[in-house]
Amino acid sequence: MTAEEPWPPRVSGPDDGFSGFGPWVFAWFAGLERDNTKSYFAASRERFEREVRDGFTALLEELRSTYGGDVRVFRQYRDVRFSADKSPYKTRTYGLLEGPGLYAEVSARGLYGGTGYPHLAADQLERFRAAVADDVTGAELAALVAGARAEGLEVDGQALRTAPRGYARDHARVELLRHRMVIVGARLAPGAEGIGRAAALDHVAGAWRAAGPIVAWLDAHVGESELPPRGRPGRR
């Protein structure tokens, strides 16, 4: 890849495989939110497999031809063993391109594409906070985040209630210091006809591409965890 090429690169490929998400997909998720039961799921299972799961897998497979990595789509069933919420099904279908760490999901709210560092191990979190607190690197990230939000991206981070220990509560970048992760992405709401093929591919790829500068900052100033594998969650 040359310095002039966007990261990730733009999608190009044949017009086959993925065909978009029709309005039934989003109506199905809305119904699942209202009636999260085995009877609801069983009554529409075949259509779910065809229009939701297979369609979503086809979306990632097509994007994989440009971005590489391995397609991983997570199971629809929830693990309720240690949860007070015993709802049997997730209300979104989601997956990622393992390797480049590029994530997407479809739900009643629409189609989301994002990337970033969804978990920061202890050593990563220490480096992240030090870089945010630094007047040069921290100001750079703050500008990137402001620019991303101005372009319509969401920048999330499961924030602490206050500044972490050792940092002033009135720090100029306290919002960023409170982050425990950094996820950058955007959601496309469905229209009356759902979300067509071109719109879906362009949206997810565009969100990944727009998140690139923030991910590059994280790669440069946080990087991979050096903790033993059991203690390092890694990148999305």
One digit per residue, pLDDT tens: the chain, 236 residues?
333 344 444 443 444 589 999 999 999 999 999 999 999 999 999 999 999 999 999 999 999 999 999 999 999 999 888 888 899 999 999 999 999 999 999 999 999 999 999 999 999 999 999 999 999 999 999 999 999 999 999 999 988 999 999 999 999 999 999 999 999 999 999 999 999 999 999 999 999 999 999 999 999 999 999 998 764 454 54
- Assess if residue 145 is contained within a domain: yes
Task: Note the pLDDT of residue 17.
Answer: 80
CA separation for the pair 101, 115 (Å, rounded): 6
Residue type, position 49, single letter? E
Task: Note the pLDDT of residue 83.
Answer: 86
CATH value at residue 134: 3.30.930
Q: Report the DSSP beta bridge partners of residue 196.
A: 20
Task: Note the pLDDT of residue 4.
Answer: 39
Task: Note the pLDDT of residue 98.
Answer: 96
CA separation for the pair 236, 219 (Å, rounded): 12
Give the count of domains, the chain.
Answer: 1
Q: What is the largest CA-CA distance in the chain?
A: 57
- Assess if residue 207 is contained within a domain: yes
- Assess if residue 121 is contained within a domain: yes
Task: Note the pLDDT of residue 129.
Answer: 97
Q: What is the pTM of this model?
A: 0.87
Asked if 58 contacts 48 with a C-beta cutoff of 8 angstroms, the reply is no
- Assess if residue 14 is contained within a domain: no
- Assess if residue 82 is contained within a domain: yes
Task: Note the pLDDT of residue 158.
Answer: 85
- Assess if residue 8 is contained within a domain: no
- Assess if residue 5 is contained within a domain: no
- Assess if residue 1 is contained within a domain: no
Where in the sequence is the domain holding 105, given as residue range(s)?
A: 20-231
